[in-house]
Structure 1
């Protein structure tokens, strides 16, 4: 009887000793195991003891192999991003380290009300149209048939990557890109206000919205991953939700002109407006500053802007600026199979649908559109000063965008 009791005591003490060893071991390696949940880019943020408002924090740079491990491990749990996916398992009874995961648990909230059938059908039609146009031999444009591997690195700078939420966004200037960049900054939690991540997209300072350091884009992969960059891009393109927003190509050009040339903009005046005035406005010595130009009422007309776009000399000197560069050149829709194609004309509905699909609609809302939107009814007035032959030539220049994204040929303007 005494021997049996001693044996049981020995078993209990041995078990307690093993548990103690496990606890000690977990304390040693727990941090490295937890690191598997950190994102590949741009990395977890390290708060400064007393950060000023709107300070962008620095991030520690993990080793390359750890980056790869983190990247692979984040795909171990399947999920399509659709609201109908099952909710993640309850982790309340698991280790407290589950609470330290980089992705806040509240962001996994899923809305159970299904997305309207007509919105799903809209997206299906837009994706199907892209596939059909990319396979259609009658739609011809430079680079259409090249592979993703053949796209130069410098042409991948519009693809913003959010590893934390599994998002790739191709931003198109003059198509609500400012608001979408605001949203991505908020989701990244890279902007702190008194040490707390900013949650209001409209509170993001304007000087940071288009700051390249705030966004991790595909063209930055080469510096970080070297020869593995293209492979990682393709893995992310396969796994992440990819989206872009587009608009009527001619209205986008009008919007670009209004924003960059009808109002004083020193950079665009020096880089582009002076060239237009010199070439097409009989101004051999245009004013040297935008203030002087607007003070004397000298600035390029919309017709001068169209002449500049059609002039073969323009792209011999440099590629089109992003504000009027074709979407097919910015976002490569025949090499990248986008999961969501938003239109500015249906921006609010599309944005709500997309944020729900990304499971972040409880975290952030698409800002209410501000400013004056260029209306389609104004199109005929804007092009009234442009010769019909030039309008038709301009359509050929932007025809791929019209056809890829389902915008009708503007016959009322081209057939006058």
Structure 2
């Protein structure tokens, strides 16, 4: 009897020491950030006036130390909560009515267990790409205040605010927040959260990327990519240093130069494809991540409506209406007129996995001339 009691006390002491050590290690890695593990869309402090957002960012803020116990609770609860994808606090029954007025649909703060992998946007029609989804996430996170209450109208959120990283709990923030625990916790989040992805026709996506990044005065993309294209494929050994100077001289890469750049084996020897033209299967890893929903940009509004119902937030927010994207499959043949047939076929091979994985037909009108 004495031996059993002694063994019990030894196990209690060792267990307590282990828990204390675990908490110390966790606290050391986590620090005193206010972000919690199950805040997939929550940014930092609430912003009351978007017009003053930039000014407020520059003002010093008094750091607030979070509750140690609440931080640990968030850490533990993430493993204990069921992976239903539902808000951690159930919605009141009366909020299920889709026809309620906006002011009557306010829902107390929820932790929506959602991860978004958006397509890269076309600046000419940003509302049909990731901008509106970022607005949706801001509305759900209740991180932007309007007259003292959370903003509920996605279109009232300015584009620059929607794309402000401070408004979102990004992957980089998650990685910095949890240090060496991040990889393991991300696996948990990927298992428990609803995950969705929006894609578009691969060739139309390339046309959109070219128009967005190389037909306008974009100094970053000119410096990083356009100058390379001009030197390699346009016989400009010393292209102008600035995009303004280049456009004033009528010097800019053509769509053919862009396709040559994509097909050139030297391109990815220098660095991987930019996210705006990297294959979607490489960018979002649909074979490794089991997405709960895959939407298409061509039917963005219909898919978004269905997805919001699936996520059970259609009574909280509506996806904004928008015009159809100006870059459509109808324009593909016009853009590829300058691209030799053999290059088109090589390009299809490069993006064939995207066509097949996401249900897009082979563009025979472009490939069989």
Question: Which deviates more from structure 2 when the two are superposed, residues 171-180 or residues 294-303?
Answer: 171-180
Within the candidate set 245, 248, 267, 1:292 is matched to 245
Structure 1 residues 184 and 46, CA gap change in structure 2 (3 angstroms): closer
Q: How many residues align?
A: 312
SS at match of 1:109: helix
Give the direction of change, closer, same or farther, for the CA distance of 1:308–1:104 in structure 2 (3 Å limit): same
Which range moves more in the overlay, 273-282 or 184-193?
A: 184-193
Equivalences for residues 91-110 of structure 1 within 5 A: 105=91, 109-110=95-96
Q: Cα distance, 1:104 vs. partner?
A: 9.3
Cα separation, partners in 2 of 1:269 and 1:47, compared to 1, 3 Å: closer
RMSD: 3.3
What pairs up with 1:350-365 in 2 under 5 angstroms? 350-365=303-318
Alpha-carbon deviation of 1:294?
1.9
State yes or no: 1:41 paired with 2:39.
Answer: yes
- Contact 1:51 1:195 survives alignment (8 Å): no
Three-state SS of the structure 1 residue aligned to 2:259 is helix
**Does the Cα contact within 8 Å between 1:218 and 1:233 map onto a contact in 2?**
no
What is residue 347 of structure 1 aligned with on the other side? 300
Residue 150 of structure 2 corresponds to residue 164 of structure 1: no
Indicate the residue corresponding to 1:239 in structure 2: 192
Who is 1:309 aligned against?
262
**Residue 250, structure 1, aligned to residue 250, structure 2:** no
* Conservation of the 8 A alpha-carbon contact between 2:214 and 2:222: yes
TM-score (norm 1): 0.66
Measure, in 2, the Cα distance between the counterparts of 1:236 and 1:363. Answer: 23
CA contact (8 A) 2:46 2:144 kept: no
Counterpart of 1:413 in structure 2 is 366
The aligned residue for residue 322 of structure 1 is: 275
Mark the CA change 1:365 to 1:344 in structure 2 (over 3 Å): closer, same or farther.
Answer: same
C-alpha contact (below 8 Å) 2:115/2:193 kept by paired residues: yes
Give the one of 200, 206, 223 matched to 2:159: 206
Q: How far did 1:385 drift?
A: 0.5
Change beyond 3 A, Cα 1:199–1:54: farther
Structure 1 distance, partners of 2:191, 2:78, is: 14
Judge which range, 322-331 or 203-212, deviates more: 203-212
Secondary structure of 1:335's counterpart equals: coil
User: 2:96 aligns to what SS in structure 1?
Assistant: coil
Conserved 8 A contact 1:108-1:359 = no
Equivalences for 1:265-276 in 2 at 5 Å?
265-276=218-229
Task: Extract unaligned runs of 5+ from structure 1.
Answer: 1-37, 83-87, 89-101, 114-161
Measured in 2, the distance between the counterparts of 1:318 and 1:107 equals 52
